[in-house]
């Protein structure tokens, strides 16, 4: 499970209500807390959601403008990014 902290713009475009709660990571869970921010690409109508891990600042970019549409892409790309950066398989599976 991850906790996603989104700034106001992605919440608005995703039509998600802000929810406030604090959660501690599960034992052996290292990729717990992420921030989401909407970025402009410079092309009309094209945007990216930037997911940043706290505290490592690992970055995952997903094309789209809402959390609802980019979250599946985030979940798909995160293990690939970790594998490309030579993280251990056991770490990636947690």
Is the pLDDT confidence value at 26 over 90?
A: no
Predicted pLDDT of residue 20? 56
Provide DSSP, 1-51: --EEEE-HHHHHHHT--------PPPTT--S-EEEEEEEE-SSTT-EEEEE
Predicted pLDDT of residue 76? 94
Map out the domains of the chain as residue ranges: 3-93
Is the pLDDT confidence value at 71 over 60?
A: yes
Which of 51 and 16 is assigned the larger pLDDT? 51
Q: Tell me which of 12-16, 26-30, 51-55 is least confident.
A: 26-30
């Amino acid at each position: 499970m991850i906790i996603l902290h989104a700034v106001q713009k992605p919440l608005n475009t995703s039509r998600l209500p802000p929810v406030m709660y604090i959660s501690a990571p599960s034992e052996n869970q290292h990729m717990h807390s992420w921030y989401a921010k909407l970025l402009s690409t410079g092309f009309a109508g094209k945007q990216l959601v930037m997911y940043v891990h706290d505290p490592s600042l690992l970055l995952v970019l997903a094309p789209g403008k809402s959390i609802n549409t980019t979250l599946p892409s985030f979940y798909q790309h995160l293990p690939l990014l970790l594998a490309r950066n030579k993280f251990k398989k056991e770490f990636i599976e947690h």
